Amino acid sequence: MTVAKELLGKLLVHETKEGTTIGRIVETEAYEGPEYKASHAYNNLRTERTEVQYGPKGHAYVYQIYGMYFCFDVTSGRLVGKPEAILVRALEPIDGLGVMMRRRGVSNGQIANLTAGPGKLCAAMGISKKQNGVDLCVPPLRIETGGTRDERQIVQTGRVNIDYADKWKYLPWRFFIKNNAFVSRPN
């Protein structure tokens, strides 16, 4: 929960040969295993997919969903070996807008549509399973301080699309920046 809030306002930077893209993190969700069913690592489920959640913290956990989209998480928690991760659900585009638009397959229109959603931000930032497990403290994919974050502007609500998680689906482990136009779902 601490890291989910701390990540808000920080910058995600990806340097690729297509160019550098930068986005400010504005929406996150916390997934803590093994006790809570919403987590992929519920019950200490340990497979090829979930493996990086058990590794070093501050690394990328990238997985594919619905056969066509990727989601990007940051591994977190105090203990290596205990699976915890923060899903990044939305970014505010800061730099590399042209590259983002090309990757998203749009030539004009809403900037808010570029990175408002976990699948969208991965496409815009050029994140795929190739980035699974990389250290987010060093290039080419890294998180930087420098963004701003006002503790009073953080909204806390329930997580999105985890109906399968029984009673745990009601936990208020989603955080986003109030009134920010780039949040995926402003409620």
Partner DNA sequence: TGCACGATTCTCT
Partner DNA sequence: GAGAATCGTGCAA
Q: Decide if residue 160 touches DNA (CB under 7 A).
A: yes
How many helices (H) and strands (E) would you count in the chain? Answer: 3, 8
Instruction: Give yes or no for a contact between 75 and 84, defined as CB atoms under 8 angstroms apart.
Output: yes
Instruction: Give the C-alpha separation, 13 to 96, whole Å.
Output: 10
Contact characters 61-100, DNA, x per CB under 7 A: x-xxxxxxx-x-x-----------x-x-x-----------
| Adjacent-strand bridge partners of 85 | 31, 75
What tokens were used for 47? Answer: 């497979």
Q: Decide if residue 186 touches DNA (CB under 7 A).
A: no
Q: What is the largest CA-CA distance in the chain?
A: 45
Binding span for DNA by CB under 7 A among 5-13, 15-23, 38-46, 95-103: 38-46
Name which of 112 and 155 has its Cβ closer to DNA.
Answer: 112
Please state the closest distance from residue 185 (CB atom) to DNA, in A: 8
What tokens were used for 15? Answer: 């340097």
Q: Count residues contacting DNA (CB under 7 A)?
A: 37
Q: Decide if residue 184 touches DNA (CB under 7 A).
A: yes
Q: Decide if residue 27 touches DNA (CB under 7 A).
A: no
Q: Decide if residue 40 touches DNA (CB under 7 A).
A: yes
Q: Decide if residue 118 touches DNA (CB under 7 A).
A: yes
Please state the closest distance from residue 55 (CB atom) to DNA, in A: 14
CA distances from 177 to 28, 54, 70, 113 (A): 9, 29, 23, 17
Beta-carbon count within 10 A of 94 CB? 16
Tell me which residues touch DNA (CB under 7 A): 29, 31, 38-41, 45, 47-50, 61, 63-69, 71, 73, 85, 87, 89, 104, 113, 117-121, 159-162, 164, 184
